[in-house]
Amino acid sequence: MRARLCIVATVVALAAAAAAGLGFAAPSGPQLFAERSGVPVDVELVLAVDVSYSMDPDEQALQREGYIAAITSPEFMRALRQGMHAKVAMTYFEWAGSHHTQVIVPWRVIDGPETADSFAADIARARYSRASRTSVSTALLFGASLFDGSGFRGMRRVIDVSGDGVNNNGPIVTVARDEVLAKGITINGLPIMLKRPMTTTMDIDNLDVYFEDCVIGGPGAFVIPIKERHQFKEAIRTKLILEIAGIVPEAWVVPAQARAPRVSCTVGEQIWRDRWGN
């Protein structure tokens, strides 16, 4: 499996070892934004969280709990302190179809346990919502627009998009992805693969491959799939640590635009048309 779960303690150790040249890749090139104004941070991170109807209430709760546990974990704090500035900027929004994007926690600097706890508490107290359709493309475009008003100057800009389905609404996902990548933003993916695909649902067997080939991109881009409920917290924590540290095993780097997709990037639109005719 291309993207596999790591033991969190090992991930933190690998980030620390990167300076010694032990075979890990740090993002570079178009992600550097020294010319931009704002408060300097190591990374500006947008958390884009799926709340479409295909996410049942239990999955939504597990997803939120995963982010809360990750942001307040000791491992996250250790990764944070290893950065040049020892602080990051984060925002958290929920998305579904092209009509539904809602910022839950606006841009916030995280530089220690108190600010991390405050960010996590705001996630926890927000009302749960769900909405129809799945527009990964709108999530990417909306996430990219948030950087314009962040007030921060990150050495890297990253969108972390979670979802349990393929794009079936809004712009074509590859068009949106390429527009975001052209701005020097990296997109990472957290495909949630808990349900068995059925003829009455929009689920597909290889959602992780869809995310790799059609959604993610940019220097150091990677996917971590969740295939079992017990993996939620570890997967989200591992993913955030990698993003905060800016270190990714080279084997995980997916040059998504350098090869033909292994799955149709319009499979969601095709399924929707076959079933509902529009």
Q: What is the pLDDT of residues 205-260, one digit of tens each?
A: 789 999 999 999 998 899 999 999 889 899 999 999 999 887 655 544 444 455 56
Give the pLDDT score at 12.
Answer: 45
| Any domain includes 2 | no
153 bridge partner residues? 40
pLDDT band at 8 (very low <50, low <70, confident <90, very high): very low
| Any domain includes 83 | yes
Backbone CA torsion sign across 163, 164, 167, 169? negative
- Structure token digits, residue 230: 């017990």
| Any domain includes 1 | no
CB contact burial 27-57 (16+ within 10 A = b; e otherwise): beeebebeeeebebbbbbbbbbbbbbebbee
- Structure token digits, residue 83: 């950065």
| Any domain includes 226 | yes
| Any domain includes 3 | no
pLDDT of 262 > 70? The answer is: yes
151-197 pLDDT tens trace: 999 999 999 999 999 999 999 999 999 999 999 999 999 999 986 65
Q: How many domains does the chain have?
A: 1
Distance CA 226, CA 223 (A): 10
CATH of the domain at 12: 3.40.50.410
Mean pLDDT of 132-148: 95
CB contact burial 129-158 (16+ within 10 A = b; e otherwise): ebbebbbbbbbbbbbbebbeebebbbbbbb
Distance CA 87, CA 113 (A): 11
Cα 247–chain centre separation? 15
Distance CA 270, CA 255 (A): 25
* pTM of the entire predicted model: 0.84
Residues in the chain: 278
| Any domain includes 157 | yes
pLDDT band at 115 (very low <50, low <70, confident <90, very high): very high
Give the pLDDT score at 223.
Answer: 92
| Any domain includes 238 | yes
**What domain range includes position 12?**
8-276
Specify whether the CB–CB gap between 51 and 95 falls below 8 A: yes
Give the pLDDT score at 261.
Answer: 67
Cα 103–chain centre separation? 15
49-104 pLDDT tens trace: 999 988 888 889 999 999 999 999 999 999 999 999 999 999 999 999 999 999 99
- Structure token digits, residue 43: 């990374």
| CA quadruple 102, 106, 110, 116: dihedral, nearest 10 | -60
Worst-scoring range by mean pLDDT, 19-33, 35-49, 85-99, 119-133?
A: 19-33
Q: Which residue do the tokens 């993916």 mark?
A: 189
Nearest Cα residue to 70 out of 238, 244, 188: 238
3-state secondary structure of 243: helix
The more confident residue out of 133 and 118 is 118
**What's the DSSP call for residue 213?**
I
CB contact burial 76-103 (16+ within 10 A = b; e otherwise): bbbbbebbebebbbbbbbbbbbbebbee
